[in-house]
Amino acid sequence: AIETLYEKDGSLAPLQGKTIAVLGYGSQGHAHAQNLRDSGLTVIVANRPDSANGKLASKHGFTPTPVAEAVSKADLVSVCLPDEVQPGVYEQDIAPNLRDGQTLLFTHGFNVHFKTIDPPQNVDVVMVAPKGPGHTVRWEYERGGGVPALLAVHQDATGSAREKALAYAIGVGGGKGGILVTNFKDECETDLFGEQVVLCGGLSESIKKGFEVLTEAGYPEELAYFEVCHELELIINLIKRGGLDYMRYSISNTAEFGDYYTGPKIVDDASKQRMKDALTHIQDGSFAKAFRDDYANGFAWFKKQRAENAGHGVEGVGKELRRMMPWLNPVELQDGKAVEV
Ligand code: NDP
Ligand code: MG
Ligand code: MG
């Protein structure tokens, strides 16, 4: 079992009286900045002041500054920028302003592990990666809980890199959910695998293909949406609370029998082999290269996928049905922003 730490195993002291600069006020940044501030630490935020996120930071009582200025003022620099923009911002605004003994903190090991960012020897390089979307990181903290987090030390220049990372992890609420001590390689590769193969890629394609099969066979779209998408949350909640066996205990015998009877025919050994191939592409850096290359090409492929996926049938009927269920607190994307409807 890997080392798991809780609030009692550390303290906020290593960061008290220090300045934490959170770079970016997006999904992770807005949660980290507010949670750390509510934990009593001193936080400054770097963001473009006039963007939607910049305005949100101002509304939340921060004064968004340029990245270079925030790095100059900070003892700990938390890089909450999109992975693809980090190398450019690092070269231009972070690296030239780094000082001896500062701490550089990442929320995902991607750039350090794949060596697209190579920090100097004189700074600590650590990671605190909450295992949940940024909005959940904030929401859980506000209700007194915390999303579990991974902690790693890549480089310990000061001898206290780990204590500072632990203080940060506690400050964002990770100490309530559990802080798992790992390394950049394991965090990065398992995170990419999970999101590509199961959580995001595998799940999205299962939903889409399940919806296609039912509607192409003539069943109403609404029925298909409920069966292959809406009910997922109920199943996931059961699994989250009690594992697969509790989920199977709760569903009907018919459903449980069908789970064993049909499941392995859908996700079979050939699927498992493709999962292994996906892991190989993550480990050998070819996924990271594809991501970098498409970014260098204006994310042309990425944007095409996003547009095509937005037009899928399951999205259209889903939108209509969710509008009829206001208790779900439905949101819709409008011009790239999530808007409550
Ligand atoms: P977001 O896309 O939500 O936020 C990005 C922020 O960075 C925005 O505030 C944006 O500012 C700013 N930004 C974008 N481009 C630039 C630039 N060129 N110069 C300066 N600022 C810029 O990012 P995420 O929170 O999703 O991801 C941040 C990190 O957290 C990544 O390493 C990711 O892997 C990791 N992570 C993310 C999780 C998540 O839940 N999303 C989960 C765990 C880890 P502006 O408003 O001006 O556009
Ligand atoms: Mg990820
Ligand atoms: Mg059923």
- Ligand found nearest the CA of 106: 1
- Determine how β-strand 42-46 pairs with β-strand 19-23: parallel
Average pLDDT, the chain: 97
Residue 299 resides in a domain: yes
Query: Which of 133, 149, 182 lies at the terminal end of a domain, its last residue?
Result: 182
List, for residues 211-244, the tens digit of each pLDDT value.
999 999 999 999 999 999 999 999 999 999 999 9
* Same-domain pairing of 156 and 204: no
Among the ranges given (182-196, 258-272, 325-339), the one the predictor scored with the smallest mean pLDDT: 325-339
* Same-domain pairing of 127 and 206: no
Residue 230 resides in a domain: yes
On the question of pLDDT at 337 being above 90, the answer is no
Residues at the annotated binding site for Mg(2+)? 191, 195, 227, 231
Residues assigned a catalytic role = 108
List, for residues 72-90, the tens digit of each pLDDT value.
999 999 999 999 999 999 9
Long-range contacts from 211-217, C-beta under 8 angstroms, 24+ separation = 211/312, 211/313, 211/314, 212/313, 215/313
Mean pLDDT computed over 204-209: 98
Q: Candidates 47, 58, 59, 81: which one to mutate for ligand 1, based on the most atoms within 8 Å of Cβ?
A: 81
Residue 187 resides in a domain: no
Pocket of ligand 1 (CB under 6 A): 24-29, 47-48, 51, 53-54, 67, 80-83, 85, 89, 107-108, 129-130, 133-134
Task: Report CA(284)–ligand 1 centroid distance (Å).
Answer: 25
Task: Report CA(151)–ligand 1 centroid distance (Å).
Answer: 19
* Same-domain pairing of 156 and 11: yes
* Same-domain pairing of 160 and 296: no
Boundaries of domain holding 213: 194-340
Q: Whose CA is nearest to atom 24 of ligand 1?
A: 27
* Same-domain pairing of 176 and 141: yes
Cα(12)–Cα(129) distance, rounded to whole angstroms?
17
Check if the beta carbon of residue 3 is closer than 8 Å to that of residue 180: yes
Mean pLDDT computed over 253-272: 98
pLDDT the model gives residue 25: 98
* Same-domain pairing of 161 and 199: no
List, for residues 79-120, the tens digit of each pLDDT value.
999 999 999 999 999 999 999 999 999 999 999 999 999 999
* pLDDT level of residue 40 (50, 70, 90 thresholds): very high
Residue type at 7 in one-letter notation: E
* Same-domain pairing of 176 and 198: no
SS3 annotation, 112-167 = HHCCCCCCCCCCEEEEEEECCCHHHHHHHHHCCCCCCEEEEEEECCCCCHHHHHHH
On the question of pLDDT at 338 being above 90, the answer is no
Task: Report CA(255)–ligand 3 centroid distance (Å).
Answer: 7
pLDDT the model gives residue 336: 81
- Ligand found nearest the CA of 83: 1
Note the Cα 282 to chain centre separation in Å.
17
Cβ atoms within 10 Å of 170's Cβ, excluding its own = 28
Residue 211 resides in a domain: yes
pLDDT the model gives residue 225: 97
* Same-domain pairing of 128 and 270: no
Q: In 3-state terms, what secondary structure has residue 318?
A: helix
* Same-domain pairing of 106 and 206: no
Residue 126 resides in a domain: yes
Task: Report CA(59)–ligand 2 centroid distance (Å).
Answer: 28
- Ligand found nearest the CA of 191: 2
On the question of pLDDT at 252 being above 90, the answer is yes
* Same-domain pairing of 18 and 163: yes
* Same-domain pairing of 119 and 199: no
Residue 82, domain CATH: 3.40.50.720
Number of domains the chain is built from: 2
Which of 145, 168, 178 shows the shortest CA–CA distance to 36?
168
Residues at the annotated binding site for substrate? 252
By percentage, how much of the chain surpasses pLDDT 90?
Answer: 96
Task: Report CA(265)–ligand 3 centroid distance (Å).
Answer: 19
Biggest CA-to-CA distance, the chain: 66
On the question of pLDDT at 335 being above 90, the answer is no
Residues at the annotated binding site for NADP(+)? 25-28, 48, 51, 134
Q: Whose CA is nearest to atom 20 of ligand 1?
A: 47
